[in-house]
Amino acid sequence: MPPRTAGRLNPDVTHYAILCAHDGLGYFVERSLEASASREAAITDIMAGQVERVEKVFCFNPADHIADDVTEEIAIEIANRLDPAFPIRPELRDFIETNAGLDYAHGLAVEDRSFAVA
């Protein structure tokens, strides 16, 4: 059976909704239908900093009547992809620590936002 793709008339696709917070207000990130139907796109967007202040990631499939909080799974997947020697944004480290735990965040290099004064 060919993989199911997002399309206007195909409700049987798993979508990934990214919930963010700004100034105490929650909002879902606006993404194209193709991007919202891709776990990989959700992971890539979070890793690249395309979405900020991520609170939760939900997956849902309207045809199967399922909805799950997959934030921990996404955080673990991101942590496993990172090179510990390559510095990451502090916000990404916080996301991993909060949702995957200290074991996954331990040892990750974080970008130093300080600067040297001449």
**62-82 tens-digit pLDDT:** 899 999 999 999 999 999 999
Is the Cβ–Cβ distance between 77 and 43 less than 8 Å?
A: yes
Instruction: Confirm whether pTM is higher than 0.85.
Output: no
Domain boundaries, the chain: 15-105
Work out the pLDDT band at 10, boundaries 50, 70, 90.
Answer: confident
* Gap between the terminal Cα atoms of the chain: 63
Cβ–Cβ < 8 Å for 2, 53:
no
- For residue 112, pLDDT over 90 is answered with no
Reading the block at residue 52, the tokens are 């900020």
For the four alpha carbons of 108, 104, 56 and 41, in that order, the dihedral sign comes to positive
Distances (CA, A) of 21 to 39, 75, 85: 20, 17, 29
